[in-house]
Amino acid sequence: MDTQNMTIPKHNFFWHIQHPWLFYVLAGLAVAIFTYGLIAHVRLWKKGTGQTYPVFSLNRFVSLLKDILSGRILRGDISAGIMHMLILTGFMTLFAGTLLEALDHYVIHFLQGQVYLAYSFILEVAGLMLTAGLMWAAIRRYIQHINRLENRLEDLIILLWLFTVVVSGFMVEALRLSVQRPEWGAYSFGGYFISLLFSPSYDISDFYPCLWWFHAILALGFIAVIPFCKLFHVLAAPVNIYLKDQPVHIIPPDTGDLPEITFTFHDIVSIDACTRCGRCVNVCPSYGAGEPFRPRDIIADTKEELMHQHGIFLFGADNTELDSNLLWYCTTCGACAEACPVFVSPFNLIRTMRRNEIEKGTRIPPLLTQSLEKLYRYNNPWEATKKKRAQWSKDLNVPDITKLKDSNCLCYFVGCTTSYDTRAQGLARAFVKILQHADVPFGILGKKEACCGDIARRVGEDGLFEEHMSKCLSLFRRYRIKKVVTSSPHCFYTFKNDYPAYMPFIPTDEQTDFRVFHYTQVLKDIMDSGYLKPEKTVAKKVTYHDPCYLGRHSGIFETPREIISSIPGIDFVEMKHYGPDSLCCGGGGGRMWQEDLDGETKMSEIRIREAADTGAEILITACPLCLIMLEDARKTAGLEEILTVMDINELLLMALGIEDR
């Protein structure tokens, strides 16, 4: 098309429209309602307990842009990701176009000539993207019936509302072009092709203004309602992504009575950022085992409750009361956070809600209550005794750091489960033999070893956690311990993340600096240094189960695999779900110390069958809880003759040829 000789009229936003001032009154009202809702949400965020408000960081802002542009939203479900990108890009482009029209009309006239042609073309593309995205969303929700998607009335209304806005916009443009028939009309190709259906002589003097106002009111109304419906995640999600690297959020100790809001600033932003897409449901091991637990529903019910308590109207709220019994189903495995495209961590929110239940002293699983009582009285959740903590080592000649004159050596923090459970003790014995074989100077705390407080922290018993943290720090300080290696990924994570988060609230003279390692890191370091070399061939087909608190929570995926693969003769295969996508064994988050909950099958049995499906002879793990859960599942699933469950230390001991010493 020759654009040099065509006449390009200036765009007239109010063509054939009387009383344009009324549009700006309505626009002002829409903006006012939107602003009111936005301020209400931000005020609620700021009521978060014990949280320092975020400050601007260029690095975080760059990270935010990378997360948005890198296509994180495509992870796990490319179809859904593309659909959301079409809707978001189309809507934001059209919204920006509306602002540019207002700028052109009142401030500086720039929408003319080639600029206007490009502007028209881009808006047409955006309109088609939005239309395609909305149709795709409707097909997925109402024709394909994607299991993880909800079917609330709110979802249908929003889809129809936005679709009507887009279609009416195309129709308004089509009617105008049908009368004007400009040479440049094809640049507005969506409206142009629709305009061909109308005769230039068609009288639109009455119909056009009605359609224009219908479109304008719908569009402005849609903008006004955003803070009061699920679409607010469009604004909250970028904030939550920006905050994703903040340290562990805690409510300061010794707060006395529960404050008005027990969530932190980041917690409430996360609740607002939830898109209710259901990806967390898809990967939740509890839901996968047929249990009545859905992370998304916990967040949705909590949001409705929060908004209702603080006078924020939510369009489409069904006023469903949160069933607090469901909070105890969560294993805190972190799969939900890994799958979430906007970095919402339901398990962190659930931990806070558990804290509230603990404070109230209601609806706590009886067996968990008993375990917490043991933890309080006997310094472990397993047995009503302190005396057996070091019995596993009585024939191994293990140095006791508390009895050494010079305690400047590696402190092996055995942990409660590894100390007391018969099966998990094999892990400790194997690790000690390996350290002795490699002549690594180390010692244990023996009977004086305290619980790290992991179980108390995960189930929300923060007071008990603080007590055990104080005991551990006191021991480390008293015996000048600077390097700690743990059996359990849970102890490792607690020392590495939860303790530093509490340091600002601990008196300086009660603090101590120490470095913590998981035993796989120590083994790998010894092997890399040449002090440990597996030489005996182990001709076995093996697979590896990633413990949640070693893998997803701590980012240690390759180290265990490198140790396993270094053993001669090993045929290593991966399960269907591995690495960040690994399935939980069901032992974390306090589930180890609860009765069997309602479900179609056990999480550990689902995992053990997946291991058996690989054809592996040995299932390897690196966590005492996983070792116990998978060992029990092997028996209940009838796989005792097919599969052996071992810890990495036990496998490495075989390769060193010293397992019987």
pLDDT bin (cut points 50, 70, 90) of residue 179 is: confident
Q: What is the pLDDT of residue 121?
A: 84
Task: Single out the residue of 437, 390, 443 nearest to residue 415, CA to CA.
Answer: 390
Note whether 118 and 97 are within 8 A (CB). Answer: no
Please choose, from the candidates 339, 337, 285, the residue with its C-alpha nearest in 3D space to the C-alpha of residue 75: 339
CA 41, CA 38: separation in Å to the nearest integer? 5
Domain end (from 484, 499, 526): 526
Distance CA 274, CA 278 (A): 9
Claim: this prediction has a pTM higher than 0.85: yes
In a domain, 28, yes or no: no
Determine contact, residues 274/299, Cβ cutoff 8 Å. Answer: yes
pLDDT band at 22 (very low <50, low <70, confident <90, very high): confident
Please indicate, yes or no, whether residues 477 and 540 belong to a single structural domain of this protein: no
- The verdict on residue 352 lying in a domain is no
Do 414 and 428 meet the contact criterion of CB atoms below 8 Å apart?
A: yes
- Please check the confidence at residue 391 and state whether its pLDDT lies above 90: yes
512 falls within a domain: yes
Q: How far apart are CA 514 and CA 491, in angstroms?
A: 14
Question: Angle CA(106)–CA(108)–CA(111) in degrees, nearest 5?
Answer: 100
Query: Hey, what are 611's tokens?
Result: 């291991």
Band of pLDDT at residue 611, cut at 50, 70 and 90:
very high
Examine the pLDDT at 313 and tell me if it is beyond 50: yes
100 and 218 in a single domain? The answer is: yes
86 found inside a domain: yes
If asked whether residues 543 and 522 sit together in one domain, one would say: no
Mean per-residue pLDDT of the chain: 87
Q: Identity (one letter) of the amino acid at 321?
A: E
Query: Are both 436 and 460 inside the same structural domain?
Result: yes
Q: Give residue 613's domain range.
A: 528-656
- Residues 6 or more apart whose CB falls under 8 angstroms from that of 424 comprise 417, 418, 487, 624, 627, 628
Q: For 444, which DSSP code?
A: B
Query: Is 70 exceeded by the pLDDT of residue 455?
Result: yes
pLDDT of residue 297: 92
**296 inside domain:** no
Query: Are the C-beta atoms of residues 240 and 489 closer than 8 Å to each other?
Result: no
CA angle centred on 654, ends 424 and 410, rounded to 5° = 60
**What pLDDT sits at residue 70?**
66
The CATH number covering residue 544 comes to 3.40.50.10700
Give the residue from 464, 471, 458, 450 showing the smallest Cα distance to 376.
464
- The reply to whether 539 and 519 lie within a common domain is no
- Collapsed DSSP state (helix, strand, coil) of residue 485: strand
CA trace torsion 302, 308, 311, 312 (10° rounding)? 60
498 and 539 inside one domain:
no
Residue 10 has pLDDT above 60, yes or no: no
For residue range 71-92, list pLDDT tens digits in order: 676 676 788 888 888 998 898 8
Continuous H helices in 292-397: 295-309, 335-339, 346-360, 366-378
Task: Write down the pLDDT at residue 602.
Answer: 92
Is the residue at 586 inside a domain? yes
Distance separating alpha carbons of residues 13 and 219, to the nearest angstrom: 15
Instruction: Give the span between the Cα atoms of 482 and 516, in whole angstroms.
Output: 8
Q: How confident is the model at residue 94 (pLDDT cuts 50, 70, 90)?
A: confident
What is the number of structural domains in the chain? 3
Final residue in a domain of this structure, among 477, 503, 526: 526
In a domain, 343, yes or no: no
Q: What tokens were used for 361?
A: 């002293």
Residue, of 319 and 129, whose pLDDT is higher:
129
Scanning 615-657, the segments in alpha helix (DSSP H) are: 624-636, 648-656
More confident residue, 90 or 65: 90
Helix (H, G, I), strand (E, B) or coil at 400: strand
Quote the pLDDT of residue 165. Answer: 92
pLDDT value at 11 more than 70: no
Residue where a domain terminates, one of 526, 554, 573: 526
How far lies 21's CA from each of 17, 25, 26, 97, 276, in Å?
10, 6, 9, 20, 39
* Confidence (pLDDT) at 146: 87
Q: Give the per-residue pLDDT at 257.
A: 57
Is the model more confident about 49 or about 449? 449
Q: Clarify whether residues 548 and 497 are in a common domain.
A: no
Mean pLDDT (whole number) for 290-317: 87
- pLDDT at residue 51 above 70? no
pLDDT digits (tens, 9 = 90+) for 553-607: 999 999 999 999 999 999 999 999 999 999 999 999 999 988 777 777 899 999 9
The whole-angstrom separation of Cα 56 and Cα 48 is: 19
Question: For residue 624, which of 392, 346, 399 has the smallest C-alpha distance?
Answer: 392
Assigned token pair, 342: 């906007």
The predicted pLDDT at position 650 comes to: 96
Q: Are residues 550 and 491 located together in one domain of the fold?
A: no
Tokens for 145? Answer: 């019936």
**Count of Cβ atoms closer than 10 Å to residue 253 Cβ:** 14
| pLDDT greater than 90 at residue 245 | no
512 and 502 belong to one structural domain? yes
Dihedral sign, Cα of residue 364, residue 366, residue 368, residue 374: positive
Q: Does 498 reside within a domain?
A: yes
Examine the pLDDT at 4 and tell me if it is beyond 90. Answer: no
Q: Closest Cα to residue 501, out of 244, 249, 254? A: 249
Whether residues 543 and 582 fall in one domain: yes
Q: Average pLDDT, stretch 481-497? A: 97
C-alpha to C-alpha distance for 588 and 627, rounded to whole angstroms: 12
Residues 223-244 pLDDT 10s: 999 999 989 998 999 999 888 8
Nearest one of 251, 183, 268, 164 to 5, comparing CA atoms: 183
pLDDT (0 to 100) of residue 254: 58
Question: What is the predicted pLDDT for the residue at 5?
Answer: 46
SS3 for 403-417 is: HCCCCCCEEEECCHH
Q: In this structure, are 467 and 572 located in the same domain?
A: no
In this predicted structure, what is the pLDDT of residue 185?
A: 66
Answer whether residue 201 shows pLDDT above 70: no
| Mean of pLDDT values over 113-119 | 78
Specify whether 624 is located in the same domain as 519. Answer: no
